[in-house]
Structure 1
Amino acid sequence: MTHAAPTDSPTLLASARRVLDIEARALDTLSARLGEEFARAVRLILDSPGRVVVTGLGKSGHIARKIAATMASTGTPAYFVHAAEALHGDLGMIHRDDVVIALSNSGETAELLAVVPLVRRQGGSTIAMTGKPASTLATLADVHLDAGVEFEACSLNLAPTASTTCALALGDALAVALLEARGFREDDFARSHPGGALGRRLLTHVRDVMRPREAVPAVTAASTVTEALLQVTRGGMGMTVVLDANGAVAGVFTDGDLRRAIDRLGDVRAVPVADVMSRHPKSIPAHRLAAEAADLMETQRVSQLLVTDEHGALAGALTMHDLMQAKVI
């Protein structure tokens, strides 16, 4: 039989804050407790020629799956194996060079107690992450990581709450310590996340999103503003390149240049575009990251950039809209 509790806002907020406070204190205690066993676990994984296999059951299984995913995305090849499935064929996924991390708050999960000896028998290494240093699983493993908590955040002290938070955080600590020990960098992370925003920022180059030179509107320095304006309109970039007699870039003529010219001169239709263009236009090499182009546009307050090749010659151009279409920004 259930008993209704108050649902007023102060009561609900007090309950939430109690949970967060308990879990925060549990993490503080966990941090203070870290010692040589953690360093041993990191070195065991670094020295292993195999992969990391993370396993668990129930709520610990959910945490194990997330730890494996975090490691895999940060330079440590890892995957999750369900503890029960391991006893029914999936143990064949674990090789002798692998390191198995087994999660169990009680340290007495029957399936894990069956898996760990089998892994060790075939030459694999094991790390136990439990809440009970004296548990059977802790004593069976090569290394034990104590993720124990004084009590759960659940008011009944039953539902895995603070304990799963600590296990998850300890897994993150392992992943990041491994990341830093391996010298894992932003571009390495991006290669594991090519479909995400970070991947696009770190893997997309200017050459991938620029418009090629033949698609960039252009006029000669002798052209009139009227002729230049037609190219601006046709090109759809808000500007046109202005070329000198040798075909080199002399400047650009933009919508902003037109407004400033009209404000200063009035009727500018017959004025040579060279008299009102912007000289020394901003540019970026084609091999640079598209994210750098976005940063340059923002700092210089321009909407277009010319793109140069390895010799400094015009290779193309791009606009802020091009970067938005490529989802770089």
Structure 2
Amino acid sequence: MSDSNVTDFTNPSTFILLGIPGLESAHVWISIPFCTMYITAILGNFTILFTVKTEPSLHGPMYYFLCMLAITDLVVSTSIVPKMLAIYWFNSREIDFSSCLTQLYFFHCFSVMESGIFVAMAFDRYVAICDPLRHSTILTSPVVAKIGLAVVLRSSMVVLPYPFLVRQWPYCRTNIIPQPYCAHIAVVNLACADTRVSSYYGLFVVICVIGLDVIFIALSYTQILRAIFSLPTKDARLKTFGTCISHLCAILAFYIPSLFFSLMFRFGQNVPLHFHVLIANVYLLMPPVLNPIIYGVRTKQIRDRLLWLFTNRGT
């Protein structure tokens, strides 16, 4: 093994990202679906932003939160995929220590932010269905701005300890990260010290931040479903529930792969490493790809605006 792989250092100047260990010969082929997904995510989320910006009827709380979701998806995917593709295409595996910490921070920060945005959207659906007459007075533009700011500040502050904790550990075993990006736990596992503080804090973020978000969303939808089932006619129930379908699909696309990946990471010791890494990469790109498709197909106002734009350009 070369000196760059096993050496004595406290603060490594670089880390080596392996991409997908064991599948190096197939990196070029693996890059094709990931590049396609990334381009789809970029085009889809920019389309959502452009559509909401140019259509005055979409200037409301639900669509402001949707724009935040699109921006979050763009940042999450862009913080990871370009370096990933550089590894697959050009074998550019080295990443500067500070760049690794920056990537780590942005990836985790905006992932937590996305969870907070889903909570804000659940609150919007709760008010719209359970107290529709007061929706416009409760969720005013200043209130929406404050909710958005709270979501951004919460994620920024919660994830801030990650890079500071990672920076303080000594690294004396290896600087090889067996995946194509710098995730918190992957970097912590390289340290040759008692890193329980980092591990426990990461668990705290998952349980007390993401877990509470899931509980709040579940409580909101419990009240929403109660309100829907109390409506007098089946048509009214279906129509009202239809306004939540996009949000529910986006929530499932975000949380279910996350749960599956977490369970596989903790209990799938017999699963090959390359399968772990491959599934993790797919999980990262699923929400940015699916969210604009879900909202574009399921939301009538967005669908109508897109059809109008394409029709006008064709005439």
- Fold-level match, TM-score > 0.5? no
- Structure richer in helix, relative to its length: 2
Larger Rg: 1
TM-score by length of 1: 0.20
Q: Which has the higher contact order (CA 8 A, sep 6+)?
A: 2
Judging by fraction of residues, say which structure has more strand: 1
